[in-house]
Structure 1
Amino acid sequence: MEACRLDAIDGTIERPLQLAPGTRWTYSMGPDHPVSSLRLDGMTERLTRLAVGDGVARVEHTDTYADVNPLRQGRKEILRFPLAVGAAWNDAFAEPGAVVGANGTYRYDYEEEASSRVVGMETINIGIGSVPAYRIERRARWRKSNPTSDDMTGRRWQGRSAVEGLEHSVSWYAPAVGRVVLKRSITAHPSYALHLQEAGSSRHAIVTELVAFESPGGCRVEGEPVHAQRFADRRPLHYPLVFSDTWEFLLQRDPHIPERADPAA
């Protein structure tokens, strides 16, 4: 199987590259974590259908890179096509969240407002080689509230009945492979906003990296991760994460997980 061509695409990208079903992407979060894979099952101008890992279905809006969630109000836009250097957009949405843990399950309300900007085209060195990619910076503010649980009845609020936070991320989207090939993100308390850019390159950041790409009947390229990392002892910054029986502790510690409904329904 031949190596893939990862050439740059000049100018504005009007729409995502149409790829063949069976195309695969493999991502790493570092040597201490198993790799995760995506397989393309089908793609139209409106929807992209993927299989995650051993076959869990994921459906995305093709033009925004966001997962389809019938329970969501508003619009989530990780990308926005046409895509060009200098493009900027805002998005806002609300959706229920649900976390299944070792000690029980809880649900909550989640709100997010974000601003994104395509700041440039860069050639980055990652596991699959040197890849031209759009650098997209996203700044989001989120809020979690109204947690409920049938089996965690001892939880209480210590202060305000909501938890707020920031997530700053940088994603590199490579048109030649049709997906983000590197993402660096960091979460923190709103009071830490002035320090997030510096902290984003530290051990506190979560970095996901493409380490293999395969086109059916065409090309394949793979390699070892260069940047991928996720350290288990690194929690969101500037929160008092001392274990307690409060809702604040859980909502600060646990990443947001959308409650799921059948996207095909």
Structure 2
Amino acid sequence: MSPIPSQQVKLLLRFSAVCLALCGSQLNATAAEVLTAPSRILPASGTTWCYSIGSPQPSTMTLKGVSAGIASYAIDGPGAITRIEEQTDTYTSVNATRHGQRKLLVFPLAKHRKWSDEFTEDLTSHLGGDAEWQFSYHAISQSHVIGTEKRHVGAGTFDTFVIERKIAWTKSNPHSSSKLLQPQKCDDADCTVTGYSKEVYWYAPSVGRAVLRAYSQSGDSDFIWNRSPDELLSNASSLVTELVGYGRAASCEDLHPPLHARVPSAPWYGFPLLMNDTWEFLMQRNIAPE
């Protein structure tokens, strides 16, 4: 199968820096100690998390402060925006256009806990330069804490909760004022696409964030939702984001190599393989912030 387009790699780089809502696998893993997380506790302001998707330069998130349940982070990395805000109790980026709730985490975390969420929001995607476009995103998600695990990553070894998240989504109403995207057209009158995603987070309460995340999407729910954490982590169509440094900002200057991080080397199953000039193609290939 063909590799993903270079502009999609740029999207993945941007996405990894902004939406590392990173939140078992048996690969390099053993059973975690008895693990509890009655609430989410963030470390001191100034703490930095260094994340990699396999590129030479990691993306960094530095906690600037927490106020009224909202954490602010400064972001530095390939193609990344400079600042994001996150709801501390749900591990979810703030979006003023969101209707409904997006909940990546629900506390207290415990094995077998399940929850669901549904929301609609407007999103902006960047293709480089002034190629910026917007679309509406609707998602229905089911999350499940499938267990706990001692997970080895570039930044060290952490006791984690393993959380599976299955998402059914639609994307619609694409538009842009960018000259580069003026030739884009809709293949169908409703200009809407439907897809399915699955992600697994290895969330470490000791650092207040996930240390590993595997994500893939497909046009076929059975194909993607039935994958185990091991299969998702090793699959060629998965985006895998990994913590490779933690603590002081300087910790990102001398990093251990990632053990798992990488961008997809194969296309997502169930979507067109060849790039075309339709909005549907861009929406299918875009990773929404799940």
TM-score bin, normalised by smaller chain = 0.7 to 0.9
Match of 2:91 among 52, 62, 65: 65
* Counterpart-to-counterpart distance in 1, 2:137 and 2:236: 27
Alignment match, 2:184 = 155
Q: Relative to structure 1, is the Cα distance of residues 21 and 256 closer, same or farther in structure 2, using a 3 angstrom cutoff?
A: same
Q: Secondary structure at the match of 2:227?
A: helix
* Counterpart-to-counterpart distance in 2, 1:10 and 1:192: 33
The answer to whether the aligner puts 1:56 opposite 2:82 as a matched pair is yes
One-letter amino acid of the counterpart of residue 157, structure 1: C
Q: Percent identity?
A: 32
Alignment match, 1:116 = 143
Alignment match, 1:27 = 51
Within 5 Å, give how 1:172-211 maps onto structure 2. 172-190=202-220, 193=223, 197=227, 200=232, 201-211=234-244
Within 5 Å, give how 1:178-257 maps onto structure 2. 178-190=208-220, 193=223, 197=227, 200=232, 201-214=234-247, 223-231=256-264, 233-256=265-288
Residue 18 (structure 1) shift: 3.6
Tell me the TM-score normalised to structure 2 length: 0.77
* Counterpart-to-counterpart distance in 1, 2:213 and 2:289: 18
Q: Secondary structure at the match of 1:182?
A: strand
* Counterpart-to-counterpart distance in 1, 2:224 and 2:262: 23
The answer to whether the aligner puts 1:84 opposite 2:110 as a matched pair is yes
Alignment match, 2:61 = 38
Residue 130 (structure 1) shift: 2.1
Q: Relative to structure 1, is the Cα distance of residues 105 and 39 closer, same or farther in structure 2, using a 3 angstrom cutoff?
A: closer
The answer to whether the 8 Å contact 2:218/2:224 transfers is no
CA RMSD in angstroms, aligned pairs only:
2.6
One-letter amino acid of the counterpart of residue 65, structure 1: Y
Which one has the bigger helix percentage?
A: 2
The answer to whether the 8 Å contact 1:144/1:162 transfers is yes
User: Structure 2, unaligned stretches of length 5 or more?
Assistant: 1-31
Alignment match, 1:5 = none
* Counterpart-to-counterpart distance in 2, 1:237 and 1:121: 30
Q: Secondary structure at the match of 2:92?
A: coil
Q: Secondary structure at the match of 1:81?
A: coil
The answer to whether the 8 Å contact 1:126/1:211 transfers is yes
Which one has the bigger strand percentage?
A: 1
The answer to whether the 8 Å contact 1:98/1:257 transfers is no
Residue 139 (structure 1) shift: 0.3
**Number of equivalences:** 246
The answer to whether the aligner puts 1:139 opposite 2:154 as a matched pair is no
